[in-house]
Amino acid sequence: MEQKALKETVRERVVPVIDWLINQRSRQLRTTLLMDGLFRKLRDIGVPVDRATLHITELHPLLRARSYHWDAVAGGAIEVGRAHGIQFRPDYLNSPIRAIHDGSAPIFRNLEVEPKTGDYPVIFELKEQGYTCYRALPLPFSNNQINVFTIATREPGGFSELDLALVDAAVPIFSTNLELRHLNRTAQQLLDTYLGHRTGERVLSGATGRGDAERIKAVIWSCDLRNFTPLAEESEMAALIELLNLYFGVMGRTLEKHGGEILKFIGDGLLAIFEIESDVKGACARALAAAEDALKEFAATREEFAKLGISDLRCGIALHIGEVMYGNIGTENRLDFTVIGPAVNLVSRMEPLTRDLEPPVILSRPFAERCGHPTRSLGPKTFKGIEAPQEVFALDYSADNRA
């Protein structure tokens, strides 16, 4: 087909696909649904796509990328998370996906002829499965991030020149739609990672001004490692980072499991909250269950600590209930979303008293009265910066109290 006639045919035939993609720009359609819709629309205008994949690089603490797989027979698209390290695996290194990431031009294969020796393994797999044509091409975002998009067909004779031109005409708007969704999800992921899910949602909903804050009631959790300063001076930096990740990993998993939210890491310390909406005793019970689970899991990781040359590592946890201001503080253009107030000051000063406790958990009177667990008083204690002495409590696991 002559180029002029081809362009005119493409412009006429691709209109329904372009219109559909434009209508999806402001909709919160999942990527799997957007991908399924695109290929159904392309098939409706005669493009014989039977298989497609999409590979998008991620900014995520657990994932290097996400892959999407679409199949005309099975129907719909599925999402597969790709963990960090996928970039070193042979199936990626020996793939058209890696070649496109490295700057290759679009890759086209006629699968009705025998693939050349040494071609990508996926080419041999697709030929064996009855596909007749394969194409992989870059799908760039505006920030120069290169993603990859592949299509394949079982149609005798493969894709025609018109088929490929119709796909190429739809790809730019498809890419724009994908980027909008990707940017929204990346923003949410990064806020979840660095601020926590609830706090991230508050920021996305508009709490971005310095001084934007609200008064909330919460259980406040503070934990710290014992003797970390001398350990830091004696340990290699890599071992120290691994140690902190093991420790924070234990605390983070148990906090998340029981509904807590980490607000910040301070050296080897951690500040978290269990926001109280109505059920004070329930929040206290969840926070205490998280503390007990964390200490059990922490003890179970001793072998991992031993590999780092650390034989006796302890931590302490302090729990308190109080009203706090929850919001933004900082400079004009650098903010921290956190909690402040006398209750935060008290719990941070209580935590060092866990040094001689077993289990190393210390409770304020308001928390002890509501946590539903036997406790014993340690008496009133004086804390720097807090005017009145505060009675604090330890957990009591004596036989009499368990009966």
401: pLDDT strictly greater than 70: no
48: pLDDT strictly greater than 90: yes
Residues 74-111: pLDDT tens digits? 888 999 999 999 999 999 999 999 999 999 999 999 99
Mean pLDDT of the chain: 89
What amino acid is encoded at 61 in this protein? P
Residues 228-280: pLDDT tens digits? 777 777 777 787 888 888 889 999 999 999 999 999 898 889 999 999 988 99
C-beta atoms surrounding 169 within 10 Å: 17
127: pLDDT strictly greater than 70: yes
Residues 264-275: pLDDT tens digits? 898 889 999 999
Find the length of the chain: 403
Mean of pLDDT values over 137-146: 92
% of the chain residues with pLDDT over 90: 64
- 1 confidence band (pLDDT: 50, 70, 90): low
Answer with the residue of higher pLDDT: 127 or 183: 127
C-beta atoms surrounding 136 within 10 Å: 25
- 375 confidence band (pLDDT: 50, 70, 90): very high
Is 134 within 8 Å of 111 (Cβ atoms)? yes
% of the chain residues with pLDDT over 70: 98
Residues 177-206: pLDDT tens digits? 999 888 888 888 888 888 778 778 877 777
Mean of pLDDT values over 21-50: 91
pTM, 2 dp: 0.74
Answer with the residue of higher pLDDT: 298 or 167: 167
pLDDT at 402: 45
pLDDT at 208: 74
pLDDT at 22: 92
HEC string for the chain: CCHHHHHHHHHHHCHHHHHHHHHCCCCCCCHHHHHHHHHHHHHHCCCCCCEEEEEEECCCCCEEEEEEEEECCCCCEEEEEEECCHHHCHHHHCCHHHHHHCCCCCEEEECCCCCCCCCCHHHHHHHHCCCCEEEEEEEECCCCCEEEEEEEECCCCCCCHHHHHHHHHHHHHHHHHHHHHHHHHHHHHHHHHHHCHHHHHHHHCCCCCCCCEEEEEEEEEEEEECCHHHHHHHCCHHHHHHHHHHHHHHHHHHHHHCCCEEEEEECCEEEEEEEECCCHHHHHHHHHHHHHHHHHHHHHCHHHHHHCCCCCCCEEEEEEEEEEEEEEEECCCCEEEEEECHHHHHHHHHHHHHHHCCCCEEEEHHHHCCCCCCEEEEEEECCCCCCCCEEEEEECCCHHHHC
Q: Which domains does the chain have, with CATH numbers?
A: 3-195 (3.30.450.40), 210-402 (3.30.70.1230)
What is the distance of C-alpha 220 from the center of its chain? 24
Rounded to an integer, what distance in angstroms lies between the CA atom of residue 345 and that of residue 38? 55
What is the distance of C-alpha 201 from the center of its chain? 14
Least confident of 94-103, 118-127, 298-307: 298-307
What amino acid is encoded at 367 in this protein? F
pLDDT at 188: 84
